[in-house]
Amino acid sequence: MAQVRRALPLLMGERWFAWNPAAAIVGAVAAIPAVVVAFSDIAAAAALGVGVLPAAIVGIAPLRRQRIVLLLAGLLIGLPMMLGSLVAPLPVVAVPVIFGLAVGAVLLAGTARFARLGGLLMTLAVPMVGVGLSYDTVGESAELTALFVGGSVLVWLCAMAVPEREPAAGDQPPGSPGLGYGLRFGAAGALAATIGFVFDFDHVGWACAAALMVMRPVRDVQLARMTGRVVSVVSGGAVALLLIESGPPAAVFAAVFLLALSLASATHGSRFYVTPAFTTFFVIMLLGFSNPDDAPSRLFERINETLLGVGIALFFGILLPLLLRPRPARD
């Protein structure tokens, strides 16, 4: 726990809503293909927006040589999704895979040599395996991965034009919260996936991903992410549904896509968990525009599974540690 306490000053020092003007411009420029396509095919434009999102929300590293991570962003998200879609047809395999990867990522984050890799797996890759459970075939997730890779290349090219700056001091990996947290983290993802399989959710991975994305070893950080995810999912989904239901001119869709990708990029680093607003917006646009009658039910499904995942994370991340905490001995 001492390692977790050392992470608190960094976490508490983040702004609730960060704003990076250079990143806003990069996001806007990377949105141009989606904006152009929106005038002829809204659904295809939404797909292009989805492709840009992973790299757009990574943030622009101070040094250009560090920005190679933008090129890798599409693969870092897409490949775990493909793994999830590979095991999705076999729930008896998928659930243990989620649990094992989650525990392993936490333990890896506690090693001196692979701390950063473990942290990346814990906060990004494992939740993306959960997302992949929503796909029936590897081919579907592979198509999305191709969009991610293309979007990552575009964002990287745009980001290379941003001037370098001095790296911030004290950027050290916070360390592992320990095996106990790893077991609870894995159990949260496994339970969410199990519920999705048992009740035959249309998108098994949504609740699983929500649980894994909001759960954190620091209580205050998790509470902030839980609140942020619910508010952001409802907000982003509502905007998408409003656009679909109202059917404005293509220019309005194009302008909103441009604004969404610019904001997603510029607000990277916000302590308030605003990213799900943009991911949900594009997901509902992608799922609902071609079938407007299904759009409200898709949003309802998204919100319900988000609440389920957040509730599971609340139990394993906050309530269970309180229940397991040793009580002081009575005199």
- Tell me the CA distances in angstroms from 230 to 133, 233, 245, 263, 304, one per residue in order: 21, 5, 22, 18, 10
Of 142, 106, 146, give the one whose Cα is nearest residue 126.
Answer: 106
Average pLDDT, the chain: 91
Tokens of 218: 């620091």
Residues 145-184 have pLDDT tens digits of: 999 999 999 999 999 999 998 887 654 555 567 899 999 9
Residues 34-48 have pLDDT tens digits of: 999 999 999 999 999
pLDDT score recorded for residue 283? 96
pLDDT score recorded for residue 172? 53
Q: Residues near 21 by Cβ (< 8 Å), separated by ≥ 6?
A: 266
Query: Do residues 279 and 287 make contact, with C-beta atoms less than 8 angstroms apart?
Result: no
**Across 97-125, average pLDDT:** 90
- Among 61-65, 298-302, 316-320, whose mean pLDDT is lowest? 61-65
Q: Is the pLDDT of residue 22 over 90?
A: yes
DSSP letter at 162?
A: S
Hunting for tokens 């499904």 — which residue is that? 301
How is 272-303 classified by DSSP, letter by letter?
S--HHHHHHHHHHHHHHSSSGGGHHHHHHHHH
